[in-house]
């Protein structure tokens, strides 16, 4: 009997997702803490597929690679 498909909440990561997370970490390491808007601008996120920037940031935070500061910025860990 085949396995059921994964639930929609399953966090699917592809090679591009890991690459995007790496871009986020490198940008924060080189530029210091940035607001999400400034980070998106620095990475050209307006040219990314819809929702990918927000998803990559969320996954980087969830994985402990990036932290949200009290000032509302994102910083590399």
Q: What is the model's pLDDT at position 11? A: 59
pTM, rounded to two decimals? 0.82
**CA-to-CA dists, residue 25 to 1, 6, 14, 49, angstroms:** 42, 29, 17, 19
pLDDT digits (tens, 9 = 90+) for 28-73: 999 999 999 999 999 999 999 999 999 999 999 999 999 999 999 9
Determine contact, residues 66/76, Cβ cutoff 8 Å. yes
In this prediction, residue 9 carries a pLDDT of 45
User: Which helix (H) or strand (E) covers residue 67, if one does?
Assistant: strand 66-68
């Amino acid at each position: 009997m085949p396995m059921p498909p994964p639930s929609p909440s399953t966090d699917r990561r592809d090679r591009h997702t890991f690459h995007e997370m790496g871009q986020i970490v490198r940008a924060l390491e080189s530029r210091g803490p940035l607001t999400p808007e400034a980070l998106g601008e620095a990475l050209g996120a307006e040219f990314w597929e819809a929702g990918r920037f927000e998803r990559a940031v969320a996954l980087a935070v969830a994985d402990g690679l990036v932290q949200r500061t009290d000032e509302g910025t994102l910083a590399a860990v």
